[in-house]
Amino acid sequence: MLIEQFFDAGLGHASYLVADPDAGVAFLVDPDRQIDAYLAAASRLGVLVTDSFETHVHNDYVSGSRALAELRPITVHAGTAAVLEYPHAAQGDGDVVVVGELAVRCLATPGHTPEHVAYLVTDRRRADDPQYLFSGGALLVGQIARVDLLGPELEDQLARSAYDTLRDKVLPLADYVAVFPTHGGGSACAAEVAGSRWTTLGFERRHNDVARAAGRDYREFRAAIAAGLPVAPAYYPHVRAMNARGAGLADRRSLPFLPDPRQPGTVMVDPRPPHLFGAGHRRGALNVVANDSFAVRVGATVAFATPLVILTVDAEQAERLRAQLALIGYDDVRGYASPDPEDGVALRIEQLDPRTAAARASGGALLVDVREASEWRAGHAPGAIHIPYELVRDRVSELAPGRPIVTYCAGGVRSSLAASILEASGREVANLRGGFAAWRGAGLPVAQDG
């Protein structure tokens, strides 16, 4: 048995190709939309993908199971409670699917979502004992996946389900069972996840605070799973609905270069670093830096289904960023265009060093901390206002009109996005270069209230 993990650092998403090379077959667990990567790996191993197993209807990325089924005669598997509108095999608790000499047993593990299942895999050439758990969000490295994504009306029910799942289904498994979760570091489907991308039941039973809390009183468990959760990106409910319908292949036609990107209803996304964006950019452009988190940050700040234009003259970069956007269902990318305005009139956002930012605050500017709540609680600039970058557009009215604003985050990237949102709303704004790390490094005061 061979296991190949595919990890998207920006989404914190892990998917798996599990192969029986002797039998020449393989299956996937929670594949995303970039199906060429799985097919290439299967070809390299000399195996045929026959099945795809979904642990749940995902919020954070677009599943590739239906798209693959459009190309190949595979069977898509999901739990019996999963409401999917495309052909699939519904697996009940305890059902076993055999792929070559690999036995895949479905475990009903509600909690992260009501329909959630995990898959316990046995390599029958070695033993009849199960050896691997593809846990989805039922157990992560140092955490479990959050239970609040489907709204407050289901949250308490799902929290209780997660508690029972751990106690009755997951933690009783043998110490040696290797655990391969779907959500890893960087995923907004959980609080902070440890850096390792796989683990064992024995290690998690001993070192996972949430797993340990499941062995105690429910109220203690409930408090543990509520701690440190990031803001859930606004695109999540739309992607869950898209996955329930079943997403097809992403558009593979080349993006056109647009001489004029200014189209009604279209959002222009400038992926340059903050210092280049700040030195000169188009009016109304959003500064979403082209790093691993590009798609998530677009999804957190731009309404789902909004037409997009990517501001770059690099056609390859534009295609890479479109591929990232396709993973969260942002399929309406109209093309790419120069970040420089045709009339030469560029807007600028100052990039301030920490002492200048502090002086501006002393002179009446508002310091706006756009980090997550857990980062804020660990320390922030005295007198700063905390608004996570995902919420800036909705909460701009909370910032006193007429006063200049200085945004900051951990390193200056998220705050540059927030600054571009505030600028588009008509506010005078600057960005703290280097973020809170630079603030601390300059020896400026740090508060830990709130």
* H-state helical runs in 110-190: 152-165
> Do 183 and 190 contact (CB within 8 A), yes or no?
yes
Question: What CA–CA distance (Å, rounded) separates 63 from 327?
Answer: 8
Q: What share of the chain is helix, strand, coil (3-state, %, to 5)?
A: 30, 25, 45
Q: Could you write out the three-class secondary structure of 339-361?
A: CCCCCCCCECCCEECHHHHHHHH
Q: One of 190, 333, 409, 429 is an active-site residue; which one? A: 409
Task: Give the strand order in the sheet containing 13-20.
Answer: 2-8, 13-20, 25-29, 48-53, 75-79, 89-91
Q: Which two tokens stand for residue 389?
A: 């970058």
What 85-91 contacts at long range (C-beta under 8 Å, 24+ apart), as own/partner pairs, is 85/244, 85/245, 85/246, 86/245, 86/246, 88/54, 91/117
- What lies within 8 Å, CB to CB, of 275 at 6+ separation is 351, 433
**Residue 4 amino acid letter:** E
**Residue 355 amino acid letter:** R
User: Packing angle between helix 152-165 and helix 218-226, nearest 10 degrees?
Assistant: 120
Assess whether 409 carries a catalytic annotation.
Answer: yes
> Do 10 and 60 contact (CB within 8 A), yes or no?
no
Provide DSSP, 49-112: EEEEE-SS--SSS-B-HHHHHHHS--EEEEETT---SS--EEE-TT-EEEETTEEEEEEE--SS
Closest listed residue to residue 307, CA positions, set 262, 253, 254, 266: 266
- State in Å, rounded, how far the first CA of the chain is from the last one: 50
Q: Which two tokens stand for residue 329?
A: 């269902």
Q: Which two tokens stand for residue 21?
A: 């090379």
Q: What angle do CA 388, 156, 236 make, to 5 degrees?
A: 40
- What lies within 8 Å, CB to CB, of 429 at 6+ separation is 349, 404, 405, 406, 407, 419, 422, 423
Catalytic residues: 409
